[in-house]
Copies of this chain bind each other. A is one copy, B any other.
Amino acid sequence: MITRSKQLRLRIIPLGGQEEVGRNMTVFEYGNDIVILDMGIQFPEEDMPGIDYIIPNISYLKGKEKNIRAVIFTHGHLDHIGATPILLPKLGYPKIIGRDLTIALIKKRMEDCEPGSAKNLETMIIKSVDEQIKLGNFRIGFFNVEHSVMDAIGAIINTEQGMVIHPGDWIMEKNPVDQTPITYNHLSKLPSPKILMLESLGATEINSSNIPEKEMYINLEKLISTAKGKVIIGTFSSQIRRIGHIIKYAAHIGKKVALDGYSMKLNVEIAEGLGYIKYAKKTLISIKDIHKYPETKLVIICTGAQGEGNAVLSRIINDDHKFIKVHKNDTIIFSSSVIPGNERTIQRLKDNLYRKCDNVIHSDIMDVHISGHSNANDIKKIIKQIQPDFFLPVYANHFLLKEAAKLAIETGISKEKIFVLDNGSIIEFYNGLATILNKKAETNYIMVDGLGVGDVGEIVLRDRQVLSKDGMFVVIAIIDKQTGKVRSSPDIISRGFVYLNLKESKNLLKETRKRVIAIVNRAVGSPGAANWVYIKNELRNKIGEFLFYRTRRRPIVLPVIIEV
């Protein structure tokens, strides 16, 4: 007996996340129903100067907006919710589904980008993992996962072609504080075919292993209780449970806590409002009031542990912070990991902190942070617990997905049941078979720069790269209509090329002016005279060559010719 819906095909399309396949957004399409998982942003690569962030390309959804039943959010990190202010309006504000902290963080994100926009949201709060939601022909279920932000949840996307199990970002915490350890064995009892989409960022972490949360807290507590001065803890503002734990412990030993950093304060406020963290009101003090307490009674929790230029830690170091001054006997703790790409910035941050303070503690010298991601052993363990029929590693670079595939094979999954997708890959499940379609969804980068979404493309980026390397060189020649000759000395404007006040630079400019006059006068006097396009090209090429010959630099040369 084949029901109508049984004839539908299930399609899964990871969209966005740059190298990290599917990290920012995944589309599930089943007949005329679409469900989206997450809607996040990615931070730009080094070769994208000036770009604020990158959002998923939603061309695939064009014309299908009415089919979108909902957007489900696994957790509240920016790489999973950050694109909502731009994409939800474009898609006609489909319903959004998530746990209450996640939804609260989305609202905050919307309001930050455009005040008043959160009122457009149609929200549905997941109150219990036992809830089942019907969205068109989809049935959606949930399961608990552990991650570095509270309220993370896994989704079960149930169709008659397959049962997708997607934990989002996850960690296998062996010895969690304040809660029972999570296992995934119960998911093995879901009906086949079970399709496991698994975040596999830790696929090559073979030897490293996360220490138990408890051990990290013991280290932090010891540092806080034995500190000889004030304690400054830099961490991610999304580490809400950790922040809550520190506040509670500080209260317990009679210390005061000041939070600093916009998102830090707001996140704690949101979590407190929802009852996720609890503390006596008098424990939290304003950063303005820290001078009223002895240093030994102070714990400051702040942002900026990645070395972000304008965040709290950087301002402290540069003596730009109005209220916080670091002393030699303070204790500064980096309770955070290094985001790839920030290595050198963080090294510099540490250098400067070590200059001001004798007790700087970071993961290299003590376990004061736990990563939010699992390692190779955990990946094997979760696969064994869930026993999926299909395995789709996601949320990591291609090479890590391939390594995760190897781990899955080690657990006994057969090679033919493992699919390593790219962003834009369309995988179709039908009658127990999986096929990657030949066509792909569009995934070229949609870059956001200031108010512009997608208006900075390849050309603008390339210009920025060239400008950043060797600067620019504008040559302005005024040509007399009557004589056809250059009038007076050509103007030159240069930026980022050479330091103009040096004697050599002055000589270079003088010679360049001579050449400009010669090039223009020769060209104007020749057949095809007053062919401005030709003359401009001549100037661009010849002056460019001359500058390169003299400096080995290639500024962008921009000729301006004005006929008067």
Within 8 A of B (CB), among A441-479: 449-452, 455-457, 459-461, 463-465, 467-472, 474, 476, 478
Q: Are B399 and A354 in contact (CB under 8 A)?
A: yes
CA distance A360 to B553 in the complex (A): 37
Q: Is A115 positioned at the interface, with any CB of B under 8 Å from its CB?
A: no
Q: Are A558 and B493 in contact (CB under 8 A)?
A: yes
With A354-B402, A476-B562 in contact, do A556 and B495 touch (Cβ < 8 Å)?
A: yes
Chain B residues whose C-beta falls within 8 Å of the C-beta of A491 in the assembled complex: 560, 562
CA distance A505 to B354 in the complex (A): 48
Q: Is A540 positioned at the interface, with any CB of B under 8 Å from its CB?
A: no
Chain B residues whose C-beta falls within 8 Å of the C-beta of A550 in the assembled complex: 451
Q: Are A397 and B350 in contact (CB under 8 A)?
A: yes
CA distance A550 to B452 in the complex (A): 9
With A452-B551, A455-B505 in contact, do A50 and B398 touch (Cβ < 8 Å)?
A: no
Which one of B341, B459, B499, B551 lies within 8 Å of A499 (CB-CB)? B459
Within 8 A of B (CB), among A337-356: 340-341, 343-345, 347-348, 350-355
With A398-B351, A398-B355, A497-B460 in contact, do A504 and B451 touch (Cβ < 8 Å)?
A: no
Q: Are A19 and B348 in contact (CB under 8 A)?
A: yes
A371 CB, min distance to chain B CBs, angstroms: 15
Q: Are A351 and B456 in contact (CB under 8 A)?
A: no
Chain B residues whose C-beta falls within 8 Å of the C-beta of A191 in the assembled complex: none
Chain B residues whose C-beta falls within 8 Å of the C-beta of A50 in the assembled complex: 468-471, 496, 553
Chain B residues whose C-beta falls within 8 Å of the C-beta of A410 in the assembled complex: none
Interface readout for A476-507 with B: 1 if CB under 8 Å, 0 if not? 10100000000000010101111100101100
Within 8 A of B (CB), among A342-378: 343-345, 347-348, 350-355, 360, 364-365
A344 CB, min distance to chain B CBs, angstroms: 5
Q: Are B558 and A347 in contact (CB under 8 A)?
A: no
With A398-B351, A452-B553, A553-B452 in contact, do A558 and B495 touch (Cβ < 8 Å)?
A: yes
User: Majority SS of interface residues in chain A?
Assistant: mixed
CA distance A461 to B499 in the complex (A): 10
Q: Are B397 and A552 in contact (CB under 8 A)?
A: no
CA distance A351 to B403 in the complex (A): 11
Tally of A interface residues using CB under 8 Å: 69
A257 CB, min distance to chain B CBs, angstroms: 26
Q: Are A365 and B403 in contact (CB under 8 A)?
A: yes
Q: Are A399 and B347 in contact (CB under 8 A)?
A: yes
CA distance A495 to B341 in the complex (A): 27
Interface readout for A20-55 with B: 1 if CB under 8 Å, 0 if not? 000000000000000000000000011001100000
Q: Is A564 positioned at the interface, with any CB of B under 8 Å from its CB?
A: yes
Within 8 A of B (CB), among A304-335: none
Name the residue of chain B whose CB is nearest to the CB of A351.
B398
Q: Is A204 positioned at the interface, with any CB of B under 8 Å from its CB?
A: yes
Chain B residues whose C-beta falls within 8 Å of the C-beta of A1 in the assembled complex: none
A425 CB, min distance to chain B CBs, angstroms: 13
Chain B residues whose C-beta falls within 8 Å of the C-beta of A364 in the assembled complex: 204, 206
With A464-B471, A472-B495 in contact, do A360 and B399 touch (Cβ < 8 Å)?
A: yes
Which one of B19, B340, B455, B472 lies within 8 Å of A498 (CB-CB)? B455
Q: Are A553 and B49 in contact (CB under 8 A)?
A: no
Which one of B365, B474, B551 lies within 8 Å of A451 (CB-CB)? B551
Name the residue of chain B whose CB is nearest to the CB of A561.
B491
CA distance A562 to B487 in the complex (A): 12
Chain B residues whose C-beta falls within 8 Å of the C-beta of A564 in the assembled complex: 478, 564
Q: Are A49 and B468 in contact (CB under 8 A)?
A: yes
CA distance A452 to B470 in the complex (A): 12
Q: Are A460 and B471 in contact (CB under 8 A)?
A: yes
CA distance A351 to B457 in the complex (A): 23
Within 8 A of B (CB), among A530-554: 550-553
CA distance A556 to B464 in the complex (A): 12
CA distance A495 to B50 in the complex (A): 13
Name the residue of chain B whose CB is nearest to the CB of A469.
B50
Name the residue of chain B whose CB is nearest to the CB of A449.
B553
Chain B residues whose C-beta falls within 8 Å of the C-beta of A552 in the assembled complex: 449-452
Q: Are A474 and B558 in contact (CB under 8 A)?
A: yes
A446 CB, min distance to chain B CBs, angstroms: 13
CA distance A474 to B492 in the complex (A): 12
Chain B residues whose C-beta falls within 8 Å of the C-beta of A46 in the assembled complex: 46, 344-345
Q: Are A452 and B353 in contact (CB under 8 A)?
A: no
Chain B residues whose C-beta falls within 8 Å of the C-beta of A450 in the assembled complex: 470, 551-553
Q: Are A472 and B467 in contact (CB under 8 A)?
A: yes
CA distance A556 to B476 in the complex (A): 18
Q: List 8 interface pairs A-B (beta carbons < 8 Å), by A numbering.
A: A46-B46, A50-B496, A340-B347, A347-B397, A351-B399, A452-B552, A463-B495, A493-B560
Q: 4 tightest A-B contacts by CB? A: A450-B552, A468-B468, A49-B468, A204-B364
Given A351-B399, A455-B499, A468-B468, 11 more A-B residue pairs with CB atoms under 8 Å apart are A19-B348, A19-B351, A354-B398, A449-B470, A449-B553, A452-B553, A467-B495, A467-B496, A474-B558, A478-B562, A560-B560
